[in-house]
Amino acid sequence: MGSSTKFLIGALITALLGWLTYSATCKVRGGGDGGNAASGIAADTNAGTLSESGDTAAEAPASQAAVAECQGDINAFMATKPIQFQSGSAYIGGESLAVISELAAEIKKCAGTQIEVQGHTSLTGGADTNQAISQARAQNVVDALVKDGIAKERLIAKGYGASQPLENALTSAANAKNQRTVLVITSAGSGPASGAATPTGGQ
């Protein structure tokens, strides 16, 4: 075999080995990029899920013990700082708006709860008028709490008129007790437990 033939065969073998090496390298790189792309998609998907979950997930419902503690704290607060209204109206004065701002701060400590804001009137006046005033008062308190940062989804306004008096009398003392705002705390997702609160507040 001539030297030129040997040289040609050697060159072909070298070229073939070079092509095989290049092909194998490309396959390895291709597999690596594909793996990184898949990992990137998975990471993005997981990140999106976490972000969405963080933005939209509701608070876990509070335990009954936590609800009871919160109810006690709210009752104690309102016993010393009742929400006042102008007689015969649902108007909330500046002093009571300041009280509601403090009340909102207390409610923010009660994670995982919902609140029924109840309005009650005295036995004076007609039933329809009392019902309308009590509902308007409850709604005005809810609106004020929302302005102070409480999620509206946590709040329910409910007027009871004069249907649940604390004293069945028309004296000034009885009227003062019967005209009141009550907050009833329940665990998030449960129905309002009317009557769970100690009635507080007044006119």
Q: Tell me the CATH number at 158.
A: 3.30.1330.60
Per residue, the 3-state secondary structure of 62-91, as one string, reads: CCHHHHHHHHHHHHHHHHHCCCCECCCCCC
In a domain, 195, yes or no: no
pLDDT digits (tens, 9 = 90+) for 114-126: 999 999 999 999 9
Q: Fill in the DSSP letter of residue 195.
A: T
In a domain, 169, yes or no: yes
pTM score: 0.67
What is the model's pLDDT at position 196? 45
In a domain, 27, yes or no: yes
Is 50 exceeded by the pLDDT of residue 47? Answer: no
